[in-house]
Amino acid sequence: MFKTVLLKIDSILAKVTTLMLWVIGVPFFGALMVEVVARKVFNHSIFGVYEMEGFMATWVSMLGAYLAYRNREMARLGFILQRLSPRWRVRLELLNKLLVFLALILLGISGVLFVTNPAVSQQTSISYGLPVFYAYVGIPIGIFLMAFETLLLLLIKGVDTLEQDNKEEVV
């Protein structure tokens, strides 16, 4: 039951994150392209685009990093793991995931402390007057999403993903 609930939450988070990436990513790249054309063709910059891009870039990068991590699309040194026996591979993967989980929790807490710091939480953007908190809160959210995925790898999905990666490559 607990396993099913966690996997359902994982699935919902992935779908919501994918939707958010579309909602944020399309205007992000669209505005960037319009700004480049405006500067190159008309020699004029559009007001507030760079600030808006800064807000969106944080969210696109952190949510994209979570989905890449979830889908096992991050870079890894699989050729080293292939040289190990299955027993040592599982041990090394377990140690790796525990260390990654610990690092992500510490980074997430640090991110929360950063965005709740009065220097950030009370600061407003120059062009739009919006609190910069909205831009930076994507950092701890993305980190905690990756920590949740690491926890699922440790508890449910299994840490030895090298064999799964090889099966996916063959298919």
Number of domains in the chain: 1
In the chain, count H helices and then E strands. 8, 0
Domain encompassing residue 41 = 2-170
pLDDT at 168: 44
pLDDT at residue 60 above 90?
Answer: yes
Q: Which tops the pLDDT comparison, 80 or 117?
A: 117
Least confident of 21-25, 122-126, 127-131, 159-163: 159-163
pTM: 0.82
